[in-house]
Chain A
């Protein structure tokens, strides 16, 4: 039974943190980009600070934009950037108003320059804290590669494609094929998404995983495998991917190999566990070695040393 007394500390911790944040909180002044450094054409440009001027020409964009999460958040006027409205992301537009043209278009900026605009507001929190230097940042992926910030095309996250998986498949097309395999996580059925396991904005883990390790990520849903067990199976404790491919497999249970071929990659004791077929045991059919070694993720039975119980 789980002893809950250990969590008595939690309310105090929460209270203390809340007080700290409330006492130190103030209207935020986000880090604003240096527009001239991004594009020298911004030199001498000033903020117009009048959205109606923008909408005079960009009415269509304004109509779609007003339904976005961005538009609603900006309406709260919580930060100094909010007051700039369109120019918070598009930069000072006085020169553009005077002489409309493509010189100040954001499309001419590099990927990291475009992302730096978004990071004015989105640099903190669990999601984007690790963006700078992350795998996607280093691969020249910018925020607008995956997000369509001017239009609410999806119910959440302003994604560029219809679903999150489709957004990822645009570059990770191989993953789409893996998800089509007979053994797969329910991504194509819409019951999971890539971000259940990965944070595309960067993490402190490998492969942009949300957990501190592969296993911590997997235990989020498969907590029955977490243990710890009296009898551990070290490769399973080490890394679930030693035996499984999370993106899909032609073998049952997302396994990398079929039946005894999975186990004999590491086990050659003599007798039945060093060959794929041995007529004393039922390894060449059903679930192979797991037919008897059912507790392959670890056993909590006192005589579970061989993971059979």
Chain B
């Protein structure tokens, strides 16, 4: 890629030199060139970095390190018929960017850019896994966990404790620090725009981006959740993203046309990820399968075959060729019609993996068992957008629009199996519930609206009515929404501007089909042999409304004031409020009515669960004061409060079709029991304040600048209801309101620049960055989880015999809080 970049750079330079001609005689005298307005400059800086823990968060999207680099390089030359501009930042660092532009303004221009974007995720990860290349992760040895009870026929917490100790010892011996986890994007973009005539513009753009490194993922093995053997480990990232784009535009006084064709493609060099089980190895026959012993299975003992290697399909190669045509027409009465038609096709045809890495005794590792051999997925996209605005009478502008957008999923539906987490019975069988259909989800949305804007001398009043319909395949509801928005802006005084907006929208989900997800199973009722039955029971709590397709009433208001009492002084203050109420008028129903299940006559609680309300409030203040060219200051402050309420119900799958009356009052069993309901109210607050300033201590000689920003975010969740009053060691679902999760960051920059000579400047710069974080999801501080020996192994605090509640992991805070200092001196030379 770098070679391509250099070759193109050479070609562009050649073109510039070849086309550089003396400027044509000006039709009128022009002032002398100012060397500073677009001056050339190179800045060289030695840098020193001090960070207390080298946190990946400190260098998340940037590269700080000791040594010499070029923070800025700007070179421009030419004039008249050809000009050249090179702009580079952070040269020599992993976040460097180079932009090069050459051309003859108004006739042609060529651009070439190189942009590197790091994304550091962890500096402190430990794992027993080693990446062996080609998507394979290996371990040096296996734990050798007990898969049978020490005595009796039931696997007990005491058996689990022995295994926990084995894992703890294993990790103590086999953990090694991983290289920094993260990715590096490197993007080269080449563009060329040519105007053969003033009315025509043709453009070509090609880009090629690599993204390499790794990120954090998980490798599950074993069985479904109670028995899943999970581990956190890195996922290799080796992406190539390319794009080719052609644009043509044609403009006349009356109309404009614009055509664009784009062909983005994505290729993943690692299609499959595999990981060896760290828990146990293959049987003595050497096949990658473990089935000789009775496998731990929660409370019950069931003989199972388990793959000793996990396998997962990573992001598939895909492409999205698309074309867009836009037409703009100026019509009488200051009218303007703009129509856009766009079509595209997202598709991929990756070769499929077999169901499992291992045979699971009956060839589940053979692709012959699959209904098809490649993904062959395809979604057609279509857009039609037409907007017309005109001025029927003085000061009144009317606008109408219609918009249709469709995702037409043409992927074929097939009958698949779901061998749970690479596990099957020792006969090779998988449960009836594992017969699954892939549903080709798609939707069509259509919007229409009318707006009227009345412009007074110093004020504007606007009203907008809108309507939206969304038809969805395989979802619970189609939705229909009406909206009304009004706005008022005014400049009553030259130094005062005022804006107010209000909106109301009502979305109707019609008859919400809570059975929609059942369509993804293909077993017959004759196969049903337990109460945990998704297809003929239900997949989701019938009282739940998925908020993205539920009824919704949305109210919003925005207020803004801008004051400019004098030219150099300005203040702005704004308040934004948005409130969503997803109340869908849920009533008790009998979800199993008409079936032969014992629970056929039971009714739901009739109280909505899922996301119930959502409110966002933001207050923002901004001020700037620049009384003279010599100095300026600015201030800003924002306060954001996001609040949402959600509810749920703690019921048991296995009891789903059983007689609910007998289960009411039994903790965590019945979906008809109001006592199993829980509520969680979350407040997510962020406060940010900052200031910046610049002062020419000695005009044209010594300049000081500084910035400061302080930000604090907290997430508070108040949990009540189901399980909140039970001891945290209670089997299954006791929970508490978690501790407040906090992020706090303060950054300050100081800079001092001194001009030694007209073209020579020296400077001293300093950056201070301090970040603290505390999150109950990252460290076991809530009482319901605990470390086992080290931060690299966490388990549920009940310490019971379930495997799904244990997680060997890469660490707690993979990118922890930090205190970082960066200092650099600059030597700038301009010409």
List chain A positions with a Cβ less than 8 A from chain B.
1-2, 6-7, 10, 13-14, 17-18, 21-22, 24-31, 50-52, 55, 59, 62-64, 66-67, 69, 72-76, 78-79, 83, 85, 110, 112, 123-126, 129-130, 132-133, 138-140, 151-152, 155, 169-171, 173-174, 176-178, 180-182, 186, 189-191, 204-205, 212-213, 216, 219-220, 223-232, 234-235, 237-239, 242, 250-252, 256-259, 261, 264-272, 274-282, 284-288, 290-292, 294-295, 299-306, 308-309
Q: Is the CB of B807 within 8 A of A285?
A: yes
| Nearest CB in chain A: distance from B785 CB, A | 5
Give the residues in chain A near B282, CB-CB below 8 Å.
none
Q: Is the CB of A279 within 8 A of B472?
A: no
Q: Is the CB of B377 within 8 A of A228?
A: yes
Give the residues in chain B near A235, CB-CB below 8 Å.
546, 548
Kindly list 8 other residue pairs between chains A and B, CB separation below 8 angstroms, not including A231-B438, A258-B775.
A59-B31, A62-B30, A63-B31, A123-B256, A126-B247, A174-B574, A250-B741, A280-B732
- Cα of A85 to Cα of B83 in the assembled complex, Å: 20
A-B pairs, top 7 by smallest CB distance, nearest first, are: A177-B638, A173-B620, A124-B251, A76-B106, A124-B256, A25-B197, A28-B198
User: Knowing A271-B653, A300-B316 touch, does A220 contact B264 (C-beta < 8 A)?
Assistant: yes
6 contacts between A and B (CB under 8 A): A51-B30, A72-B106, A176-B636, A178-B640, A227-B377, A301-B353
- Cα of A172 to Cα of B115 in the assembled complex, Å: 27
Name the contact of B411 in the complex, choosing from A76, A186, A228 (C-beta under 8 A).
A228
Per-residue 0/1 for B790-824: is the Cβ within 8 Å of any A Cβ (1 yes, 0 no)? Answer: 00001010101010111101000000000000000
Give the residues in chain B near A67, CB-CB below 8 Å.
33-34, 37-38
| Nearest CB in chain B: distance from A61 CB, A | 10
Per-residue 0/1 for B87-112: is the Cβ within 8 Å of any A Cβ (1 yes, 0 no)? Answer: 10100000101010000111100000
Q: Which of B381-400 contact A (CB under 8 A)?
A: 381, 383, 385, 387, 389, 397, 399
- Cα of A228 to Cα of B380 in the assembled complex, Å: 10
| Nearest CB in chain B: distance from A238 CB, A | 6
Give the residues in chain B near A226, CB-CB below 8 Å.
266, 318, 320, 346
Q: Which residue from chain A places its CB closest to the CB of B397 in the assembled complex?
A: A133
Q: Is the CB of A66 within 8 A of B198?
A: no
- Cα of A191 to Cα of B775 in the assembled complex, Å: 27
- Cα of A251 to Cα of B33 in the assembled complex, Å: 52
Q: Which of B120-152 contact A (CB under 8 A)?
A: none
Interface centre among A25, A50, A305 (most CB of B within 10 A): A305
User: Knowing A270-B653, A282-B806 touch, does A140 contact B460 (C-beta < 8 A)?
Assistant: yes
| Nearest CB in chain A: distance from B78 CB, A | 10
Name the contact of B743 in the complex, choosing from A174, A182, A294 (C-beta under 8 A).
A182
B708 close to chain A: CB less than 8 A: no
Q: Which of B239-288 contact A (CB under 8 A)?
A: 239, 241, 246-254, 256-261, 263-268
Give the residues in chain A near B714, CB-CB below 8 Å.
250
B572 close to chain A: CB less than 8 A: yes
Name the contact of B250 in the complex, choosing from A24, A230, A239 (C-beta under 8 A).
A24
B436 close to chain A: CB less than 8 A: yes
Q: Which residue from chain A places its CB closest to the CB of B263 in the assembled complex?
A: A7
Give the residues in chain A near B26, CB-CB below 8 Å.
75
- Cα of A258 to Cα of B250 in the assembled complex, Å: 49
Which stretch in B8-16, B162-170, B220-228, B756-764 binds the other chain? B220-228
Give the residues in chain B near A189, CB-CB below 8 Å.
60-62, 95
Per-residue 0/1 for B202-246: is the Cβ within 8 Å of any A Cβ (1 yes, 0 no)? Answer: 100000000000001110100001101010100000010100001
Per-residue 0/1 for B299-329: is the Cβ within 8 Å of any A Cβ (1 yes, 0 no)? Answer: 0000000000001110111111100101010
Give the residues in chain A near B216, CB-CB below 8 Å.
287
Which stretch in B171-179, B416-424, B505-513, B592-600 binds the other chain? B416-424
Q: Which residue from chain B places its CB closest to the CB of A25 in the assembled complex?
A: B197
Give the residues in chain A near B831, CB-CB below 8 Å.
none
User: Knowing A10-B261, A73-B106, A79-B198 touch, does A2 contact B313 (C-beta < 8 A)?
Assistant: no
Q: Is the CB of B732 within 8 A of A266?
A: no
Q: Is the CB of B265 within 8 A of A2?
A: yes
Q: Which residue from chain B places its CB closest to the CB of A79 in the assembled complex?
A: B198
Give the residues in chain B near A169, CB-CB below 8 Å.
622, 636
Q: How large is the interface on B (under 10, 10 to 19, 20 to 34, 35 or more residues)?
A: 35 or more
Q: Is the CB of B313 within 8 A of A309?
A: yes
Q: Is the CB of A213 within 8 A of B405?
A: yes
Interface centre among B217, B220, B313, B775 (most CB of A within 10 A): B313
B552 close to chain A: CB less than 8 A: no
User: Knowing A173-B638, A285-B777, A305-B418 touch, does A224 contact B106 (C-beta < 8 A)?
Assistant: no
B370 close to chain A: CB less than 8 A: yes
- Cα of A220 to Cα of B709 in the assembled complex, Å: 31
Q: Is the CB of A173 within 8 A of B263?
A: no
B487 close to chain A: CB less than 8 A: yes
Q: Which residue from chain A places its CB closest to the CB of B440 in the assembled complex?
A: A232
| Nearest CB in chain A: distance from B791 CB, A | 11
Q: Is the CB of B438 within 8 A of A126?
A: no
B621 close to chain A: CB less than 8 A: yes
User: Knowing A126-B258, A152-B38 touch, does A309 contact B377 (C-beta < 8 A)?
Assistant: no
Q: Which residue from chain A places its CB closest to the CB of B356 in the assembled complex?
A: A303
Q: Is the CB of B541 within 8 A of A266?
A: no
- Cα of A10 to Cα of B206 in the assembled complex, Å: 14
Q: Is the CB of B777 within 8 A of A259?
A: yes
Which stretch in B42-50, B289-297, B679-687, B695-703 binds the other chain? B679-687
Give the residues in chain A near B733, CB-CB below 8 Å.
275, 277-279
Give the residues in chain A near B418, CB-CB below 8 Å.
303, 305-306
B731 close to chain A: CB less than 8 A: yes
Give the residues in chain A near B560, CB-CB below 8 Å.
171
Give the residues in chain A near B385, CB-CB below 8 Å.
204-205
- Cα of A213 to Cα of B191 in the assembled complex, Å: 25
Name the contact of A291 in the complex, choosing from B89, B455, B646, B807 (C-beta under 8 A).
B807
Name the contact of A286 in the complex, choosing from B24, B678, B809 (C-beta under 8 A).
B809
Give the residues in chain A near B684, CB-CB below 8 Å.
250-251
Q: Is the CB of B31 within 8 A of A228?
A: no
- Cα of A69 to Cα of B38 in the assembled complex, Å: 11
- Cα of A257 to Cα of B714 in the assembled complex, Å: 12
Q: Is the CB of B383 within 8 A of A204?
A: yes
B336 close to chain A: CB less than 8 A: yes
- Cα of A270 to Cα of B609 in the assembled complex, Å: 13
Name the contact of B315 in the complex, choosing from A124, A225, A250 (C-beta under 8 A).
A225
Q: Is the CB of A229 within 8 A of B338?
A: no
Q: Which residue from chain B places its CB closest to the CB of A290 in the assembled complex?
A: B218
B735 close to chain A: CB less than 8 A: yes
